[in-house]
Amino acid sequence: MNAPHNTRKPGDLDLHFGTQGQLFFPLDTDNGQSKRLSDGRILSVCNGLEADLITVLRYLQDGAPDTSFGDEGVVRIRLQEWDMFELLQLRVLPDDSALVYGALGVLGTHNTFVCKLLPNGELDRSFGVNGFNIFGLGDRSNLITALEPLDNGKVIACVVSERNDPYFYGTYLALLDNGILDPEFGDNGLGYVEASSHPLRQLAVTANGGYLLAGHSADFSKAVVRQYHADGNPDLAFGQNGEAALPLPPGQAEIFQVKVRADGKIIGVGGASVGLGAHTLVARLNADGSLDSTFNNGEPKIMVFQGHETLATCAALLPDDKLLVAGLTYDQSDVILMRMEANGNLDMNFGIRGQVVSNLGGQDMCEVVELQDDGKILASGQRGRESPTKQMFLARYLG
C-alpha cells in the first residue's frame, strides 16, 4: 500500500521512517527481535553470522542508527564458552534494560538461556552467573518461549521442554530471581513447576498476579487458555477446571499471543482452520475465562482477508479498548494489520475497511507490533531470504 504523500492515511507505510518506511538491518546480522524503548528509540537484538555472537543495535525514532550507543549504534557480545545462539527474543524492562532469551546449541538438542543487558547494551554481569542463566529441564531440548517481569522484580518464564525418561514434551513455569531459579516457587524447591503435558508457548500475567498460558489443545483442535495462581498451581475456578477452550467449529485453532488489559479482560489472537482456509482468530475473555459478551456478541471472531489465508501472531492494546492485530499471509508472507473497535467491529478509518496487506518486498513473518507515543505503528519480525538464513525486518505505519 503506497499511496501518494498527500493522500496517505492510517495503515499506510510511513515514508519518513528509515528508507521508504522500512529499516534495513546490516548484512552481518541474522534473525532476532526488535522492541520499542521507553523514550521511543528502538532496540534490536540478533544473531551475528558468527554463531557465538549476539549483536545489539539501537535506532532513533525515525529509524536512523543511534550513534551514541556502543560503536556507532552497535554493541557486539562474543561468548567463547558456547558455540551457537538461536531463536533470540527480547523483553524490554521498565528501566530500558532488557532480557534476551532463546536457544543455546544445535536445535533439537538445545538448552535454553536468558541474559540481561544494561541500557547501554552491555551484559549485566550481576544477573544469573556472570550475566547468564543456562538451564535444561529436559534431557533432549529446552526453550524459553516467553518471559514476563513481575512487580516484585522477579521474572516468570514459559519453558517448553522435552525429555526421554520418562517421556515428556510440555511446558514448565519457572520463576527467576535476578537470573537464578527461585526455590520458593512451586512445592519442589527447584524453582519450576510442570504446567502442561503438551506445549503451551504463550504467557501473560493476570491482573491479580497469576499467570496465563495459551496455545492449542493436545490434538490441535481447540485454541485454549489456562490460568495459574502465583505459586504455579492451576486456578481451577478459571473457565472449566482451569482451562478456557474457545468454542469454534471443528478444525484446528491456536492462540499465538495472549494479553491482559488493565481491567483484567484477556485478549487472545491466533489462527483457525475451521472451514474454507486458514484465517485470523481474535477473542476476548472475561477474567474468569468466560467469553466477553461485549466483544463480537460473545463469540470468537474469525476474520477473512479477501484472497488470502492469514494468521494473527501479535496484538497491541490501544486507547478506548480498541485493538491492533498483526500477522502474515500464508501465500506471500506479507504483513497484515487489522484495527478493531472495542466491540470487535473493524475500524473503517484504518487501511481498507479496517485491514492492511503490506508487501514489503520479502517473505516477512510479523512477530511484534507496538505503538509509538504519536500513534504510529511499528511492525517487526523475520524476513526470509535465500542466503544465508533469515534476517529481521522493521516497518512503520501511520496510525
Per residue in 153-197, pLDDT (tens digit) is 999 999 999 988 888 999 999 999 999 999 999 877 789 999 999
The dihedrals phi and psi of 168, each to the nearest 5 degrees, come to -150, 135
CA dist 56 and 59 (Å) reads 10
26-134 under CATH 2.40.128, yes or no: yes
DSSP assignment of 235-266 equals -TTTTBTTEEE----SSEEEEEEEEE-TTS-E
Q: What is the pLDDT of residues 7-32, one digit of tens each?
A: 889 999 999 999 999 999 988 888 89
CA dist 44 and 33 (Å) reads 6
* Statement: residue 255 has pLDDT above 90: yes
Give the residue from 281, 339, 343, 348 showing the smallest Cα distance to 311. 281
User: Cβ neighbours of residue 7 under 8 Å, at least 6 residues apart?
Assistant: none
* Statement: residue 33 has pLDDT above 90: yes
**What is the residue-averaged pLDDT of the chain?**
93
Helix (H, G, I), strand (E, B) or coil at 134: strand
CA dist 114 and 102 (Å) reads 7
pTM: 0.94
Domain with CATH 2.40.128 in the chain: 26-134
User: Cβ neighbours of residue 27 under 8 Å, at least 6 residues apart?
Assistant: none
CA dist 180 and 159 (Å) reads 15
Q: What is the pLDDT of residues 192-219, one digit of tens each?
A: 999 999 999 999 999 999 999 999 999 9
Q: What is the pLDDT of residues 213-248, one digit of tens each?
A: 999 999 999 999 999 999 999 999 999 999 999 999
Q: What is the pLDDT of residues 127-162, one digit of tens each?
A: 999 999 988 786 788 999 999 999 999 999 999 999
Longest dimension (CA), the chain: 64
* Statement: residue 48 has pLDDT above 70: yes
User: Cβ neighbours of residue 381 under 8 Å, at least 6 residues apart?
Assistant: 33, 313, 328, 335, 364, 365, 366, 367, 368, 392, 393
Check residues 330 and 2 and name the one with the higher pLDDT: 330
CA dist 171 and 232 (Å) reads 12
**pLDDT of 82:** 62
User: Cβ neighbours of residue 55 under 8 Å, at least 6 residues apart?
Assistant: 26, 28, 29, 32, 45, 46, 47, 48, 74, 75, 76, 77
Check residues 397 and 24 and name the one with the higher pLDDT: 397
Residues 37-66, mean pLDDT to the nearest whole number: 92
CA dist 355 and 358 (Å) reads 10
Cell 552467573 maps to which residue? 129
Query: What does the block give as the cell for 96?
Result: 530500558
Q: Bridge partners of 117?
A: 98, 123
CA dist 151 and 209 (Å) reads 9
Give the residue from 101, 110, 57, 108 showing the smallest Cα distance to 83. 110
- Please measure the distance between the N-terminal and C-terminal CA atoms of the chain and give it in whole angstroms: 14
User: Cβ neighbours of residue 34 under 8 Å, at least 6 residues apart?
Assistant: 42, 43, 44, 45, 90, 368, 378, 380, 392, 394
Give the residue from 322, 245, 324, 328 showing the smallest Cα distance to 279. 328
Reported confidence tier of residue 3, pLDDT bands at 50, 70, 90:
low
CA dist 227 and 290 (Å) reads 12
**pLDDT of 387:** 46
* Statement: residue 116 has pLDDT above 50: yes
CB 97 within 8 A of CB 119: yes
